[in-house]
Chain A
């Protein structure tokens, strides 16, 4: 029904008032001649109905025969509408231009959403997209989603599943990251590797699963020392080397490690004293072009500013490169101040606690800590050492020996 009325609107129709001697006869004659009449209503002294323009033109003989008069009350439809506004050429051109630009602009990616990343930051992924030429403003036709997914998985080993979708002008990247640590991937690779020390320290616990341990509990080690070798030497009953077997070393090694802590706090410092007045400015950004408010004056003082970006978008997925930036200015004055001794202690303690917290978050167990505060001129120096226990496992490819050569050596020895 809607479709029919739309067609009628497209072709245009007339609302006609009919009056005279024999209007019923007029209606019957129209029926006989297949002239379509709809929405027929009886009004005062006549009838009112709708009919097409062509039908109206062929009414003359019927009108004469029935001695009736027809009068157009209203013209409805697109042809009449266009005729009425025929002189507004610039408006039409503007509309056309608008639609052309809309179609052109919707062929690019204007919004990127990244879901499911926790280890990889959003910036990292956007930088990756930039390298792959698939960032903001790239034509959608040039982006190969399947290839991007594959590249994402191969570039970042922690990504175990990736999906790249483009709906409208929005690109959605969904990731699934593995919960296992980086160590796992290193030891999982095909390359045979030794375990080396990541830090200086004294070994307190050691469990070897694969490989030949070269150190034991209590050994003092330096960074880079081989702790567990991936090389397994086979000896004969006479103590001769028969063969070398290679297998990636795998072990849990925990050592006592010393951390040096130092922090310097100056007695003098500059503080920001915010002024009451807060200013706001709007900037329109279209693509790379910034349109500033010509009447805007930046605050004379120093200021902090925060920017809120709003992007034009139709529906959920049609984003366009048009942004409204809402910038807030917080002007302030710089004031020279001095800490009291009590304050310095508090700050030093705060920094120190944060440092320890960071260590603990990395899974490092703290055994002993020793910190001192010293006054040096206008500043305070905080120094100390922290004893901790942590895993010092790092991997390095094993240097493999050629077995043919060793056999030759054996022969020489026997000689």
Chain B
């Protein structure tokens, strides 16, 4: 079974069993409030952090945030809160 197929199969099983996707598939959860506050859960680590650019590694993607005055209010093993003025949020 190829990787693509196994992923689809798992997704179907989860849908049938009504399990929370973010928990089982370890997808990143991004909550954005306006364009000044952002909360990421289920992330793996920080790749690059600058004043105007943050790149975060999630399990199966990377999230790139560009803006100005970006600060990390706090971060723990599970979640991270970023404030500042966002211009772009991008998935790689």
Query: B32 at interface (Cβ–Cβ under 8 A)?
Result: no
Interface size (A, Cβ < 8 Å)? 15
In the bound assembly, the distance between CA atoms of A31 and B48 in angstroms comes to 15
Query: A292 at interface (Cβ–Cβ under 8 A)?
Result: no
Q: Are B75 and A24 in contact (CB under 8 A)?
A: no
In the bound assembly, the distance between CA atoms of A41 and B71 in angstroms comes to 5
Question: Among A27, A32, A38, A40, which residue has the most Cβ atoms of chain B within 10 A?
Answer: A40
Contacts A40-B71, A41-B71 given; does A34 touch B49 at CB 8 Å? no
In the bound assembly, the distance between CA atoms of A38 and B51 in angstroms comes to 15
CB within 8 A of A42: which of B51, B75, B76? B51
Chain A contacts of B72 at CB under 8 A? 37, 39-41, 49
Query: B15 at interface (Cβ–Cβ under 8 A)?
Result: no
Contacts A24-B46, A28-B45, A28-B46 given; does A37 touch B74 at CB 8 Å? yes
Q: Are A37 and B75 in contact (CB under 8 A)?
A: yes
Q: Are A31 and B76 in contact (CB under 8 A)?
A: yes
Q: Are B77 and A47 in contact (CB under 8 A)?
A: no
Query: A275 at interface (Cβ–Cβ under 8 A)?
Result: no
Query: B22 at interface (Cβ–Cβ under 8 A)?
Result: no
Q: Are B73 and A32 in contact (CB under 8 A)?
A: no
Q: Are B49 and A31 in contact (CB under 8 A)?
A: no
Query: A207 at interface (Cβ–Cβ under 8 A)?
Result: no
Give 1 or 0 for each of B61-92: 1 = CB within 8 Å of chain A CB: 00000000011111111000000000000000
- Which residues of B28-71 are within 8 A (CB) of A? 45-51, 70-71
Chain B contacts of A47 at CB under 8 A? 49
In the bound assembly, the distance between CA atoms of A28 and B71 in angstroms comes to 16
Give 1 or 0 for each of A378-393: 1 = CB within 8 Å of chain B CB: 0000000000000000
In the bound assembly, the distance between CA atoms of A27 and B75 in angstroms comes to 9
Q: Are A42 and B49 in contact (CB under 8 A)?
A: yes
Chain A contacts of B75 at CB under 8 A? 27, 31, 37, 40
Query: A73 at interface (Cβ–Cβ under 8 A)?
Result: no
Q: Are B46 and A39 in contact (CB under 8 A)?
A: no
Contacts A41-B71, A42-B51, A42-B70 given; does A27 touch B76 at CB 8 Å? no
Residues of B within 8 A of A (CB): 45-51, 70-77
Give 19 new A-B contacts, CB below 8 A, not counting A28-B46, A31-B45, A31-B77. Answer: A24-B47, A27-B45, A27-B46, A34-B76, A34-B77, A36-B74, A36-B76, A37-B72, A37-B74, A37-B75, A39-B71, A39-B73, A39-B74, A40-B71, A40-B73, A40-B74, A41-B71, A41-B72, A42-B70
